Amino acid sequence: MVAQDPDVLYWPQYLTPEDADQLYEHCSGALAWRQETIRMFGRVVLQPRLQVWMGDMAYRYSGRTFEPTPWDEQLTALARRFQDELQVPFNSVLCNWYQSGAHSMGWHSDNEPELGNEPVIVSVSIGAARRFVLRQRSNHQQRLEYLLGHGDVLVMRGRTQQRWEHALPKTQKPVGARINLTYRYLLRSPQP
């Protein structure tokens, strides 16, 4: 069976440059950023990025449960905008701050049971442009790549998380900082 193309919407410059600038300034100064630990290949390591989990309930991935911080007013307003546009509810947002090219996200799928079978993940990029790559689970040679810039939005939906993985690779090139906001809907709290 051949995996189908991912169900992805790409909206370049969804936010105006002024709105993206304002959101970046707000997020970099107002959110309680932390560098969390996760379990990878049997070892506990620091994640190569800063992070804030915000929403209505806890979220579990990479062997760790993350308790939410209270919703931020500006991020709530953006969630409502996506809910209206996509006709899908959102009750959480994972905020990642990649401060340099050494900060990254490895290959993974957002396929935790709490997200359901066909989650809708809305990814908002603000700050420096970075490569975002998708690859088929069944054929790693089959790839798609986006250069996500300041104010761009990428929406993954349908069976994308079941059939594809995605990553934000490290880069040796000099790049500025990037904040990524990934809105999602959790069906329930994670099971212990």
In which residue are the tokens 């909206």 written? Answer: 11
The pLDDT of residue 191: 67
192 in any annotated domain: no
Which residues form the domain of 180?
7-31+49-55+68-184
Residue 94 host element (H or E) = strand 92-98
143 in any annotated domain: yes
Q: What percent of the chain has pLDDT over 70?
A: 95
127 in any annotated domain: yes
Q: Could you tell me the pTM of the whole model? A: 0.92
Local structure of 33: helix, strand or coil: coil
pLDDT digits (tens, 9 = 90+) for 73-126: 999 999 999 999 999 999 999 999 999 999 999 999 999 999 999 999 999 999
- Asked if the model's pLDDT at residue 2 lies above 60, the reply is no
104 in any annotated domain: yes
Chain center to CA of 138 = 22
pLDDT digits (tens, 9 = 90+) for 136-160: 999 999 999 999 999 999 999 999 9
43 in any annotated domain: no
CATH number at residue 141: 2.60.120.590
190 in any annotated domain: no
42 in any annotated domain: no
How many whole angstroms separate alpha carbon 185 and alpha carbon 120? 7
Question: Which residues in 129-169 belong to E strands, given as ranges?
Answer: 130-136, 143-148, 153-157, 164-168
In this prediction, residue 66 has a pLDDT band, given cuts at 50, 70 and 90, of confident
Instruction: Work out how many domains the chain is built from and give that number.
Output: 1
98 in any annotated domain: yes
